[in-house]
């Protein structure tokens, strides 16, 4: 893999992109990574068992990414677990810059995150970008959750770095401190899609500090301008199951946060089911599965890909997870 080169002594940043059956968008994402004013020191692409030319685009792009072609589609959650583990274990990343394949960072996106990290008067674990749609509006799918009850000092510290204090963030563009991921573990691979970033960034920020950096801008090129829950169809199953897993089966959130986030989520589900009664059966199945069992171990989820599973196993063992 080609080195994208930062100067000696600066943090080593690896971009991790999870891709599935969107070759044109992946091309734009990789083009944008190559055009960064502060280029990442390497790129890991997880080709999530694509059935089209996505893997070919990843292999052929001049950015020289380290491409891991999975044999089985393990969703965004499994792909990010594999990609972050690879960035840390194979490439020695100090920071991991995580994004979907439909994320197109503007040229100064990474530089703005690193400037904010350097300006922060306190140690940061997570920094998120401002995600906009193709017309420049803030994307409703990717708004970082502000930390509840942040003190005046926390707000002042965040403002000094040009941001605001956050409690969770979206994987559409987020910078994760590698040391903290090694200590606290990877995203939960069995989530497949939805809430993996909510739980994982929440875990890193339970006691860590994070900020949203509006100067770092990425375009989230979804087909429509809408929240992920606007018309979820069968994916509503994952919304229900995973959010309940995050709130009931982890220590990521405080009791107050569980009550507040859970209450807001439940009200949202009620509204969705009122508009789309066909979701009731899907949601019921997610509820029952969340109550019956917790997530499978990541190595089991990634069992079809031993290389990826082994890197994940090493990180999770060190984190005692």
CATH of the domain at 33: 3.90.550.60
End-to-end CA distance of the chain: 31
**pLDDT confidence of residue 2:** 38
pLDDT at position 227 is 64
Instruction: Look at residue 260 and tell me if it is in a domain.
Output: no
pTM: 0.93
Give domain status of residue 232, yes or no.
Answer: no
Give the distance from CA 61 to its chain's centroid.
23
| Stretches in the chain below the pLDDT threshold 50 | 1-6, 8
- Residue 1 structure tokens: 């893999």
In a domain, 46, yes or no: yes
| Residue 65 covered by a domain | yes
Identify the pLDDT of residue 6.
47
Number of domains composing the chain:
1
DSSP-assigned states of every residue in 104-171: EE-TTHHHHHHHHHHH-SS--SEEEEEEE-TTSPBPTT-PPEEPTT--HHHHHHHHHTTSEEEEE--T
Q: What does the alpha-carbon distance between residue 172 and residue 230 come to, in Å, rounded to a whole number? A: 18
Residue 8 lies in a domain: no
274 located within any domain: no
Give residue-wise pLDDT tens across range 21-45. Answer: 999 999 999 999 999 999 999 999 9
Angle at 256 between CA 251 and CA 258, to 5 degrees: 50
Is residue 276 in a domain? no
Q: Which pLDDT score, from 0 to 100, does residue 1 have?
A: 37
Asked if residue 95 is part of any domain, the answer here is yes
> What domain range is 21 assigned to?
13-226+294-318
Q: Using the CB atoms, write b or e for 6-16: b if 16+ within 10 Å.
A: beeeeebbbbb
């Amino acid at each position: 893999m080609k080195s994208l080169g930062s100067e000696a002594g600066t943090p080593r940043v690896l971009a991790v992109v999870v891709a599935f059956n969107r070759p044109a968008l992946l091309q734009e994402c990789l083009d944008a990574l190559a055009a960064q004013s502060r280029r990442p020191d390497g790129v890991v692409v997880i080709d999530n068992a694509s059935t089209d030319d996505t893997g070919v685009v990843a292999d052929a792009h001049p950015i020289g990414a380290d491409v891991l072609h999975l044999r089985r589609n393990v969703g965004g959650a499994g792909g990010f677990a594999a990609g972050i583990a690879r960035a840390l274990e194979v490439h020695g990343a100090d920071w991991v810059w995580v994004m979907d394949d439909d994320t197109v960072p503007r040229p100064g996106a990474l530089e703005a995150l690193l400037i904010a990290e350097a300006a922060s008067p306190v140690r940061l674990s997570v920094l998120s970008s401002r995600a906009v749609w193709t017309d420049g509006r803030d994307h409703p799918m990717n708004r970082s959750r502000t930390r509840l009850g942040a003190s005046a000092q926390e707000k002042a510290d965040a403002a000094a770095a040009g941001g605001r204090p956050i409690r969770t963030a979206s994987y559409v563009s987020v910078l994760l401190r590698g040391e903290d991921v090694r200590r606290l573990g990877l995203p939960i691979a069995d989530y497949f899609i939805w809430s993996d970033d909510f739980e994982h960034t929440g875990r890193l920020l339970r006691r860590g500090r994070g900020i949203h950096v509006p100067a770092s801008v990425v375009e989230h090129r979804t087909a429509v301008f809408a929240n992920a829950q606007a018309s979820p169809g069968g994916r509503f199953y994952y919304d229900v199951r995973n959010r309940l897993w995050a709130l009931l089966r982890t220590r990521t959130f405080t009791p107050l946060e569980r009550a507040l986030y859970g209450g807001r989520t439940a009200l949202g589900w009620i509204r969705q089911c009122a508009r789309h009664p066909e979701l009731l059966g899907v949601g019921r199945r997610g509820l029952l599965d969340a109550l019956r069992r917790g997530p499978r171990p990541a190595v089991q989820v990634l069992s079809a890909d031993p290389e990826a599973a082994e890197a994940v196993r090493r990180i999770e063992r060190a984190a005692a997870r």
